[in-house]
């Protein structure tokens, strides 16, 4: 991979509630390079969405970044002024949200929204902005872009709306796209189209993509590296091939086993992870996974496991894996 | 294989909705949610129903449980026409036999009732258990059957997680000892690891209580895992119907093939070639002429544009609605 | 692998304790108390209710005792801390008894209007179609009638007196409650849990009263508190016009009326009674706002 474009160091984002402090993101560090696709995998409460919002600094009022730094091209994002932030959000980093229908303003035409972006961030006049916008719509595969330009968001399908949002990100020459479950709300055929679009665009423009999802299939398809998050921390980070071929964290094993794939044996009980994710107001004092981990020992209840490189490019946060004897993964479903 | 009993039969089911036109002066049009659906559900099996948005799978589920009245066609349950409004207690008795699990665990429970009251209510409505103490006992029993802590009877839905709420849903449906359970995307809103737990629960309950499932989902992997037979729907019609293995080993209908090819790979080493269907899903509003896939299918012919193919058996237990396979 | 029971910070006990903590921290009362202005409103209302309830105990004089020698005494006079009115009656005592009247009328009217309005709104919203149309047109008709005229009409027909005033104001409240409830019912009846109830075989009546009605409680309570506030003003207006509570029974409205004629000579009568009405209504509004803030929809995780 080439140069570093986004760097996050020890990010801690806490939510201050009446009943306690929820540690939504608790010490997350990673790097994103140009042209790379980083997958972020996790379930509800893992902190993946909150973290993505921190990168673009769109956090709700009740949450606060208490520690850590975010560096974009070497500049400190957390100390940006309002003006710098505007430029950062519109031009450098673009975000694609889960629900395409609510990501666009329903009372304005699609074209007007795109032009607004262009005129603010690239300073184009109306005629130029219109040309650029229609070209962008065409390049994301929207048929009859001139007509769609005049349409309102509710006249477009979900997949079409996501394409419009991707076109908006493109127009402004975003260097990084943060996509938070961009295809979860879409049909599987539409998902395939949108993902392929993202992949092609990435090849053409060399932009970096941070793809947040709970669907490992999407990760295998799209990502170069992937990090697995659980209860606000990264538990494993590796290249996609390493994560599939030799996952090391018990949570990752559990996740891989719980997903039925087309090659899983039918009508058999899936290997599940017992229990439910912990309450984020209680986490942070020890391994957050111990109460669901079949391999937990006393040390796991006492101190926080550090993320260590246990194989080249493969980081794991687990006391047992870090110790003298490595754990062996029990064979669950068919791993053809 | 012994001849299985047909529990539910769907005969030529059509369901249309009136759609008010946006322009003044135009008369209302019909949205064809279901068109001539024919299906059989055998006792003890899991029939998976899969399709994308707008295919009518949810509408089919709701017609079966009586939330929608069919526009034409018939539903036959245990050999008799399905009529929830039948008098003399028969309609109500049918309600005990057919139940539904909804997709959204948040909105399918009354936020103002405790878990115990929610699970208990069907027994009160149908007077199946009249003694209050016995009801409480049964509630605790049901909660432990679905894997919930019986101490949580006094908690409200918002104090449970999504997966736990689905379990409450299931406990409530089970309280009447139903024969048929229509599951409308019951795990789609859940996290992956919780999804696995709930899917295992479904499997266990089917074995323990001899339940029959009509399992609706958009997730092919889930459907393949849990179903015995699978029906693939597109634009209100069933385009392919066969055993779960058969669909994946030998998909016949062009739509099925496209759908399978669009599923994300199960490993980073898998090379997938997506079969693309050009264009968008046509509108279900207005008259439907010809095969629903006609405008997008790579094998489309003139006949496909004019006539609509019906489900015909190609191999034992494998039906397809496509002119490619008709000589 | 053997299941080892380990104790740590995320154990089952700790999670259960956290849920209990959340329940108390987020329960309505605590949430309400965190809102300063709502608490102020609550204090105001409580004081007003105390004034009314303890009127016999707190009043230094008989409110109806006339003393022609001590008319129009200013505040801080000997024996009459708030002064006297045009017939020498102690103002403080009259105001205390007046509070009683205002509360009774305001709450009575709200309850009357509420019960009828909620029922109509429930039926109208759930049934839809022709029933809904008919009921709503009647409600529209009632809305269209200016409230004061309606009250005047009713009081003229029925006569004055506490019960009739309650009736007059209450009837004016019916369409407002009906509308609030109807819109919530229309939303709620399409929620999945109502569909689930239908599939379970619940009758429409059961769904309406056991499931939908409890879910309208938050909207109704908020609206009711605001309604009480406006009912106080309505009663004051009616009494001010000479139609409501008739003298000698004191009410803040008719005290205000009495003070109107002597604004230059004895401004304290109108000022103090007017001020009390003002503060009471603010109190109810603050509480209503506070309750509305508390009644958030149950948060999704």
Please state, in angstroms and rounded to a whole number, the distance separating the CA atoms of residues A301 and A287.
Answer: 6
**Nearest CB to A270; choose among B200, B268, B269:** B200
Q: What is the dihedral of CA C104, C108, C109, C110, to 10 degrees?
A: 110
A241–B200 C-beta distance less than 8 A:
no
* Minimal C-alpha gap between A293 and chain C (Å): 9
Residues A311, A175, single domain; the answer is: no
Closest CA to B43 of B231, B213, B229: B213
Q: Is residue A241 part of a domain?
A: no
Contact flag C192-B110 (C-beta cutoff 8 Å)? no
Q: What is the CATH number of the domain that holds A122?
A: 3.40.50.300
Q: Which residue of A has its CA nearest to B274?
A: A192
Indicate whether A207 and A269 sit together in one domain. no
Question: Could you tell me the pTM of the whole model?
Answer: 0.85
| Residue (of C106, C108, C114, C64) closest to C88 by Cα position | C64
Nearest to A21 by CA among C24, C18, C16: C18
Contact A272 B200 (CB under 8 A): yes
- Note the pLDDT tens digit of each residue in B183-239: 999 998 888 888 889 999 999 999 999 999 999 998 888 998 999 999 999 999 999
The answer to the question of residue A68 being in a domain is yes
Shared domain for A261 and A218, answered yes or no, is no
- Please, which residues 27-86 of chain B have a Cβ atom closer than 8 Å to chain C? 65-67
Beta-sheet pairing, B6-19 with B29-42:
antiparallel
Chain B from 60 to 119: CB within 8 A of any A CB:
none
Query: Do C195 and B102 count as a contact with CB atoms less than 8 A apart?
Result: yes
User: Are A101 and A221 contained in the same domain?
Assistant: yes
What is the residue extent of each domain of chain C?
Answer: 34-68+77-284
Q: Among partner residues C200, C215, C301, which is closest to B122 by beta-carbon distance? A: C200
CA distances from C107 to A226, C237, C282 (A): 63, 16, 16
Q: Does domain C34-68+77-284 have CATH number 3.20.20.150?
A: no
Per-residue pLDDT in tens (0 to 9) along chain C, 301 residues: 334 456 677 777 788 888 778 777 777 788 888 888 989 999 999 999 998 888 888 888 888 888 888 788 888 877 788 888 888 888 888 889 888 888 889 999 999 999 999 999 999 999 989 999 999 999 998 888 887 787 778 878 887 778 888 888 898 889 999 999 999 999 999 899 999 999 998 999 999 999 999 989 888 988 898 888 888 888 888 888 877 777 778 888 888 888 888 888 888 888 888 899 899 999 998 988 888 877 754 433 2
CATH code linked to domain B1-78+179-188+197-264+274-327: 3.40.50.300
- Residues A183, A133, single domain; the answer is yes
Full domain range(s) for residue A62: 4-229
Domain membership flag for residue A243 = no
Q: Which residue of B has its CA nearest to C204?
A: B125
* A210 and A261, same domain (yes or no): no
Are A263 and A143 in a shared domain? no
**Domain match, A116 and A261 both:** no
| Same domain flag for A254 and A222 | no
Find chain B residues with C-beta within 8 A of C197's C-beta: 110, 121
Are B231 and B319 contacting, i.e. CB atoms less than 8 angstroms apart? no
Whether B257 has its CB under 8 Å from any CB of chain C: the answer is: no
Helices (H), A24-157: 48-55, 82-87, 100-103, 110-121, 126-139, 145-149
A131 with A261, same domain?
Answer: no
CA B241 – CA B41 distance, rounded (Å): 12
Instruction: Provide the sign of the torsion angle of the four alpha carbons A217, A222, A223, A228, taken in this order.
Output: negative
- pLDDT digits over B5-46, tens only? 899 999 999 999 988 766 676 777 888 899 999 999 999 999
With beta carbons under 8 A apart, name residues in chain B contacting C196: 100, 102, 108-109, 169, 172
Among A15, A16, A18, the residue to mutate for chain C (most C Cβ within 10 A): A18
- Counting one residue from chain A and one from chain B, the pairs whose CB atoms sit within 8 A come to 119
Q: What is the phi-psi region of residue C273: left when phi exceeds 0, alpha when psi lies from -120 to 50, beta otherwise?
A: alpha
- The domain segmentation of chain B, as residue ranges, is 1-78+179-188+197-264+274-327
* Per-residue CA distances from B278 to A147, A190, A193 (Å): 19, 11, 11
A230 touches chain C (CB under 8 A): no
Does C25 sit within 8 Å of A291, measured CB to CB?
A: no
Residues B211 and A331: their CA atoms lie apart, in Å, by 30
Q: Which residue of A has its CA nearest to C21?
A: A19
Are the beta carbons of B67 and C211 separated by less than 8 Å?
no
Sign of CA dihedral A10, A71, A45, A234: negative
Q: Going residue by residue through chain A (336 aa), what tens digit of pLDDT does each one get?
A: 478 999 999 999 999 988 889 999 999 999 999 999 999 999 888 899 899 999 988 887 788 899 999 999 989 998 888 888 888 887 889 888 888 878 888 899 988 888 888 888 777 888 888 888 898 888 888 878 888 888 888 888 878 888 888 888 878 888 999 999 888 878 888 888 888 888 888 888 889 999 999 888 899 999 999 999 999 999 999 999 999 999 999 999 999 888 887 777 777 888 888 888 888 888 888 899 988 888 888 888 888 999 999 889 999 999 888 877 777 777 644 333
Contacts of A258 in chain B (CB under 8 A): 192-193, 195-196
Interface ipTM? 0.85
Q: DSSP states of C4-43 as a string?
A: ----STTSHHHHHHHHHHHHHHTSHHHHHHT-HHHHHHHH
The answer to whether position A245 is within a domain reads no
Q: Of A157, A136, A158, which Cα lies nearest the Cα of A145?
A: A136
A290, C6: Cβ pair inside 8 Å? yes
Are A106 and A178 contained in the same domain? yes
């Amino acid at each position: 991979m080439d140069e570093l474009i986004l760097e996050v160091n020890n990010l801690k984002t806490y939510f201050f509630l009446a009943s306690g402090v929820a540690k939504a993101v608790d010490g997350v560090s990673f790097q994103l390079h140009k042209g790379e696709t980083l997958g972020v995998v996790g379930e509800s409460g893992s902190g993946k969405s909150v973290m993505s919002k921190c990168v673009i600094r769109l956090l709700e009022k009740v949450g606060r970044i208490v520690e850590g730094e975010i560096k974009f091209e070497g500049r400190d994002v957390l100390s940006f002024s309002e003006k710098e932030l505007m430029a950062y959000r519109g031009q450098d980093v673009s975000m694609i949200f889960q629900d395409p229908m609510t990501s666009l303003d329903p009372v304005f035409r699609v074209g007007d929204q795109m032009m607004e972006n262009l005129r603010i961030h690239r300073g184009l006049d109306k005629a130029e902005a219109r040309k650029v916008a229609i070209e962008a719509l065409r390049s994301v595969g929207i048929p009859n872009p001139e007509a769609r330009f005049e349409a309102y968001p509710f006249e477009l399908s979900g997949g079409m709306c996501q394409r419009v949002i991707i076109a908006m990100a493109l127009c402004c020459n975003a260097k990084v796209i943060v996509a938070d479950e961009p295809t979860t709300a879409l049909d599987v055929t539409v998902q395939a189209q949108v993902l392929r679009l993202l992949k092609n665009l990435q090849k053409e423009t060399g932009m970096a993509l941070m793809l947040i999802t709970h669907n490992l299939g999407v990760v295998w398809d799209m990502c170069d590296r992937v990090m697995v998050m659980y209860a606000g921390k990264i538990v494993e980070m590796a290249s996609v091939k390493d994560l599939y071929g030799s996952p090391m964290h018990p949570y990752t094993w559990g996740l891989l086993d719980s997903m039925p794939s087309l090659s899983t044996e039918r009508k058999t009980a899936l290997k599940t992870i017992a229990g439910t994710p912990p309450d984020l107001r209680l986490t942070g004092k020890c391994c957050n996974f111990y109460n669901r981990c079949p391999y937990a020992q006393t040390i796991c209840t006492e101190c926080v496991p550090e993320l260590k490189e246990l194989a080249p490019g493969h980081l794991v946060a687990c006391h047992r894996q870090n110790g003298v004897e490595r754990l062996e993964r029990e064979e669950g479903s068919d791993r053809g | 294989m012994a001849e299985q009993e047909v529990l539910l039969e769907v005969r030529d089911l059509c369901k249309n909705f009136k759609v008010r036109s946006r322009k003044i002066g135009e008369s209302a049009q019909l949205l064809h949610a279901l068109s001539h659906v024919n299906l059989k559900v055998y006792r003890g099996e899991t029939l998976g129903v899969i399709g994308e948005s707008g295919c009518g799978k949810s509408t089919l589920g709701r017609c079966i449980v009586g939330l929608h009245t069919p526009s034409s066609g018939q539903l036959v349950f245990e050999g008799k026409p399905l009529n929830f409004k039948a008098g003399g207690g028969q309609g109500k008795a049918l309600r005990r036999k057919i139940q539904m699990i909804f997709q959204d665990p948040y909105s399918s429970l009354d936020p103002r009732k405790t878990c115990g009251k929610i699970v208990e209510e069907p027994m009160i409505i149908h007077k199946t258990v009249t003694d209050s103490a016995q009801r409480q006992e049964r509630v605790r029993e049901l909660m432990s059957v679905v894997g919930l802590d019986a101490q949580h009877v006094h908690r409200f839905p918002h104090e449970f997680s999504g997966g736990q709420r689905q379990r409450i849903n299931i406990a409530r449906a089970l309280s009447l000892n139903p024969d048929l359970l229509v599951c409308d995307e019951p795990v789609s809103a859940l996290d992956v690891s919780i999804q696995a737990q709930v899917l295992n629960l479904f499997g266990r309950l089917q074995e323990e209580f001899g339940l029959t499932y009509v399992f609706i989902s958009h997730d092919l992997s889930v459907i393949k895992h849990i179903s015995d037979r699978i029906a693939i729907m597109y634009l209100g019609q069933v385009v392919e119907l066969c055993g779960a293995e058969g669909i994946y080993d030998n998909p016949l209908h062009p739509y099925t093939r496209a759908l399978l090819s669009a599923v994300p790979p199960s490993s980073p080493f898998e090379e997938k070639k997506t079969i693309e269907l050009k264009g968008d899903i046509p509108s279900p509003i207005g008259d439907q002429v010809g095969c629903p896939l006609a405008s997008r299918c790579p094998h489309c012919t003139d006949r496909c544009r004019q006539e609509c193919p019906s489900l015909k058996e190609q191999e034992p237990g494998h039906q397809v609605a496509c002119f490619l396979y008709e000589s | 692998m053997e299941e080892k029971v380990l104790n740590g910070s995320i154990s089952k006990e700790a999670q259960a304790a956290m849920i209990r903590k959340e329940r108390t921290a987020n329960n309505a009362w605590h949430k309400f108390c965190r809102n300063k202005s709502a608490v102020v409103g609550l204090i105001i209302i409580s004081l007003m209710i105390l004034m009314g309830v303890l009127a016999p105990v707190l009043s230094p004089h008989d409110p109806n005792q006339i003393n022609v020698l001590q008319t129009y005494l200013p505040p801080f006079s000997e024996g009459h801390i708030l002064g006297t009115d045009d017939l020498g009656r102690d103002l403080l005592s009259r105001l205390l008894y007046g509070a009683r009247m205002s509360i009774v009328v305001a709450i009575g009217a709200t309850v009357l209007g509420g019960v009828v309005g909620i029922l109509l709104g429930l039926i109208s919203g759930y049934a839809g179609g022709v029933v809904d149309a008919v009921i709503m047109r009647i409600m529209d008709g009632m809305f269209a009638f200016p409230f004061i005229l309606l009250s005047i009409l009713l009081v003229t027909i029925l006569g004055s007196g506490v019960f009739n005033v309650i009736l007059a104001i209450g009837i004016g409240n019916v369409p407002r409650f009906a509308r609030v409830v109807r819109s919530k019912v229309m939303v709620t009846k399409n929620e999945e849990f109502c569909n689930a109830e239908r599939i379970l075989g619940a009758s429409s009546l059961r769904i309406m009263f056991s499931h939908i009605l409890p879910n309208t409680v938050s909207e109704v309570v908020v609206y009711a508190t605001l309604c009480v506030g406006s009912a106080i003003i309505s009663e004051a207006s009616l009494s001010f016009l000479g139609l409501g509570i008739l003298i000698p029974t004191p009410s803040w409205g008719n005290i205000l009326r009495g003070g109107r004629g002597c604004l230059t000579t004895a401004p304290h009568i109108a000022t103090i009674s007017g001020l009390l009405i003002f503060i009471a209504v603010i109190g109810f509004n603050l509480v209503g706002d506070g309750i509305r803030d508390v009644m958030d929809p149950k948060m999704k995780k």
